[in-house]
Chain A
Amino acid sequence: MNIPNSITTLIVGIAVTLISLWYGQHHGLMPVAASADANDVDELFNLMMTIATGLFILIEGALVICLIRFRRKKGDLTDGPAIEGNVPLEILWTAIPTLTVFILAIYSFEIYNKMGGLDPMVSGSGMAMSHHHHHNPSTMENMVAMGVDSQVAIGIGKSMSAGEQEPLVVEVNGLQYAWIFTYPDTGIISGDLHVPVDRPVQLNMKAADVIHAFWLPELRIKQDVMPGQLSQLSFVANREGTYPVICAELCGSYHGGMKTTMTVETAEGYDAWVQSRTVAMQSEENQTVAVNPSDLSDAAFLQAYAEEMGIIKNTLDQIPHGPMTMMSIHQ
């Protein structure tokens, strides 16, 4: 290799590196991050984006150069040089991906661990329940009674152990096509999620009918919610705002409509919300006191909550009236 050639290589190398480093930090592809974990995931993504940009420029660049420089001249029927391989080069480009994925795997593992992915979680619903004994129509006790108490919960998030701030526990029930949040501490049942900022939140999640997936894009977390099995997510949201809550697992025709919001607000704001909900619930109870929910069809049962939860009318019409739906709600 002659001198000018290696200088060009060097310059190109530096340019590619700089562009990749810059783009890796400035791609703007992710939505806002509303938790420290989300920032960690973004860091990981930025690293991957940096590497990907470098490889992209390198390989697409090589292809474009081939297209321009190595076209056959008209009438030239000769062959190119008979290069069948090059051992050092092949070792190099085996080593590069090997090393890259090794680094990425370790880094991803770190982040995953930090997010509490390997945490034993609360290891089973038994323990999850031990702090909270409330008597509410749809708390986890009912689900335990359905025979899930022997299962270990699946999910992601650090276990909220004693000593730290007391976590806010919310029970999440996914059903075609709504999320229902129950706050065991206050008895609130709501169609949207409210959590205080900077306070650990633990979601104990179950599905009433088919598999749903609970996704908070701004927190970068997602977990399937399954019938007959407990799953959990725990997080600390650190940024106030209202964020979408989306069902990410195909759950029927109105799967696309199965979404609501999570409001992250100050402790005072959250308390005010609790207050207003408690009052609202009392007046609702007065109205519906004579009705036993299990006598109602699913749609009729939901109708009461529909406006509240922002479920569209079509959604209600969609709900099958089969025996599988709403089980745990009715109990």
Chain B
Amino acid sequence: MSEATTHHGGDRKWTDYFTFCTDHKVIGIQYLVTSFFFYFIGGALAEMVRTELATPDPDFVSPEVYNQLFTMHGTIMIFLWIVPAGAAFANYLIPLMIGADDMAFPRLNAVAFWMQPVGGILLISSFFVGAPQAGWTSYPPLSLISGKWGEELWILCLLILGTASILGAINFVTTIFKMRIPEMDIHSMPLFCWAMLATSALILLSTPVLAAALILLSFDLMAGTAFFNPTGGGDPIVYQHLFWFYSHPAVYIMVLPFFGVISEVLPVHSRKPIFGYRAIAYSGLAISFLGLIVWAHHMFTSGTPGWLRMFFMATTMLVAVPTGIKIFSWCATLWGGKLQLNSALLFAIGFLSSFLIGGLSGVMLAAAPFDIHVHDTYFVVGHFHYVLFGGSVFALFSAVYHWYPKMTGKMYDEFWGKLHFAMTFVGFNMTFLPMHYLGMQGMNRRIALYDPQFQSLNQVCTIGSYILALSTLPFLVSMVLGLVKGEAAGRNPWRALTLEWQTTSPPSIENFDEVPVLWAGPYDYGIDSESEDAGESVEEMLAEVAEVG
């Protein structure tokens, strides 16, 4: 391929990554590395949860510690792993994808990042004062009586991280609207940017409500008020409404950025235009709108009157329509393509196949009569891991492999990457598929002790989770081998058409040496293929890039 090393990217010293640096690329990497750090902690907690569940008795840890483990696991995985990992890619990629030299508000961006470690350390430190035990939902009155300081630290952590994500969202929206190169109209913008628009809109609309709920909860906890405390005349159901008004959309905050990722990865590695660009772009917006009016489906069995349950059942089911459009469009993108089955594409296909299961069980859960049976059981635990692990983590790994050459200038090790995929896929399905059956049969969740009849399937889940844990080893090997002795990647090893691939790998501090040119739509693969030489157009473009470089 063209030039191998222009040392622009090397302009960054490793120490820059520990400073209040305002370069969006540094911030993106900071976010990514920090979130991986918390992923390993959250994963270790999950393994302890699963180890406890290998036997029916609470023999590995005490039931209180067990409750702390899954509470911290859920909180860390959501607020310190998946959400910041989405922000990591958005920070790194958005300015590059739209031809800008940085985010609209670089200092705000750095502030938002540095709130992550602060929030994370606060949360982890709660282990020293008795970590929160009331689940990541923290429903009162339980959260008000099960350990004051752990709970308060949990609230503070979420307030800080929530503020950070609002700051981030403001930045993404402004950047996308104001900083695009002039030739790029909104309909020639990469779909990842569309996805981040939809995500940011959700963050801005819902996060303040969570803050309100948490502040009131904090008053109840620390000042003895009774907003949610029934002994003082408060209403715990109001908390649930406020909480889920944020936390249902939060599910889409967690998956939408990765829907964007998938829309970038699939066309490049199957050498075909994305199927139905506008359908994918608008269905993302539709999902974020619908996401705002479905929250009470988490409360079908709680203090929700019958007619209201029916309203939320209908809106929830509607989400299946835009989601279905996306899944069908992604499959059609692959269909008839020339698939390069590298780790990035394998993880993307793994995403499609597991997210599908999460989506199908999601529609089932929307049906109130069925949800009443399985709510708060392992069916739900299975379902949301298919959405969050299958839907987000798989796509996240796909993103890591896909943009690794851009971020590091090196190629990762494909063998270890594929092994990583195989182990993740097997371990993941082994861990979470049996949970659906367990839930329907009568295993409720958040329990350290369970009925012995469920033991054998729980052991399958636990072994699966160990495979899942081990799968991080080949991942790390692939990454490190890439850094140490990976081939130089060049500007555009995948021959991709979005703008970030027009600059050096890693990009120089100012991103582009000259204003990038929009020589094709983001997904114009095979546009000339009607003519005799299908590959020619891309080859020409690449030659052009090489000259510019």
Chain A interface residues (CB < 8 Å from chain B):
29-31, 40-41, 44-45, 48, 52, 55-56, 59-60, 62-63, 66-67, 70-73, 76-86, 89-90, 93-94, 96-98, 100-101, 104-105, 108-109, 111-112, 115, 117-119, 152, 154, 156, 209-211, 213, 215, 217, 220-224, 226-229, 231, 244, 246-257, 318, 320, 322-324
A-B contact count (CB 8 A): 300
Residues of A with C-beta under 8 A to B274: 84
Cα distance A66–B275 in the bound complex, in angstroms: 15
Choose among A66, A100, A229 the residue that contacts B335 (Cβ–Cβ < 8 A). Answer: A66
List 10 other contacts, CB 8 Å, given A66-B349, A222-B301.
A67-B341, A71-B341, A78-B535, A81-B526, A83-B275, A85-B277, A105-B314, A152-B305, A222-B375, A256-B446
Q: Is the CB of A320 within 8 A of B145?
A: yes
Of the A-B pairs whose beta carbons lie under 8 Å apart in the complex, a sample of 24, sorted by A's number, is A31-B441, A40-B369, A48-B363, A55-B356, A56-B357, A62-B335, A63-B352, A63-B353, A70-B338, A77-B538, A80-B270, A80-B525, A80-B529, A82-B530, A85-B278, A85-B279, A90-B329, A97-B320, A154-B303, A210-B141, A226-B302, A244-B442, A323-B231, A324-B231
Residues of B with C-beta under 8 A to A250: 67, 134-135, 139, 142, 376, 446
Residues of A with C-beta under 8 A to B329: 90
Residue of B nearest to A77 (CB): B535
Say if the beta carbon of B212 comes within 8 Å of chain A: no
Residue of B nearest to A214 (CB): B301
Residue of B nearest to A223 (CB): B301
Q: Is the CB of A80 within 8 A of B272?
A: yes
Residues of A with C-beta under 8 A to B272: 79-83
Q: Is the CB of B303 within 8 A of A227?
A: no
Say if the beta carbon of B462 comes within 8 Å of chain A: no
Say if the beta carbon of B524 comes within 8 Å of chain A: yes
B57 to chain A, nearest CB (A): 10
Q: Mark B152-171, 1 if CB is under 8 A from A, else 0.
A: 00000000000000000000
Chain B interface extent, by class: 35 or more
Residues of B with C-beta under 8 A to A76: 338
Residue of A nearest to B530 (CB): A82
Say if the beta carbon of B224 comes within 8 Å of chain A: no
Q: Is the CB of A70 within 8 A of B270?
A: yes
Give the secondary structure class of A's interface. Answer: mixed
With A104-B317, A112-B310, A246-B442: A59-B331 Cβ-Cβ less than 8 Å: yes
Say if the beta carbon of B148 comes within 8 Å of chain A: no
Q: Is the CB of A211 within 8 A of B141?
A: yes
Cα distance A93–B283 in the bound complex, in angstroms: 13
Residues of A with C-beta under 8 A to B313: 105, 108-109, 112
Residues of B with C-beta under 8 A to A220: 369, 372-373
With A98-B321, A101-B318, A253-B67: A78-B142 Cβ-Cβ less than 8 Å: no
Residue of A nearest to B65 (CB): A253
Cα distance A164–B56 in the bound complex, in angstroms: 44
Q: Is the CB of B334 within 8 A of A72?
A: no
Q: Is the CB of A211 within 8 A of B436?
A: no
Say if the beta carbon of B420 comes within 8 Å of chain A: no
Say if the beta carbon of B426 comes within 8 Å of chain A: no
Say if the beta carbon of B11 comes within 8 Å of chain A: no
Cα distance A250–B67 in the bound complex, in angstroms: 9
Q: Tell me which of A56, A111, A211, A320 has the highest count of chain B C-beta atoms within 10 A of its own C-beta.
A: A211
Choose among B278, B360, B369, B526 the residue that contacts A115 (Cβ–Cβ < 8 A). Answer: B369
Q: Is the CB of B303 within 8 A of A89?
A: no
Say if the beta carbon of B273 comes within 8 Å of chain A: yes
Residue of A nearest to B234 (CB): A228
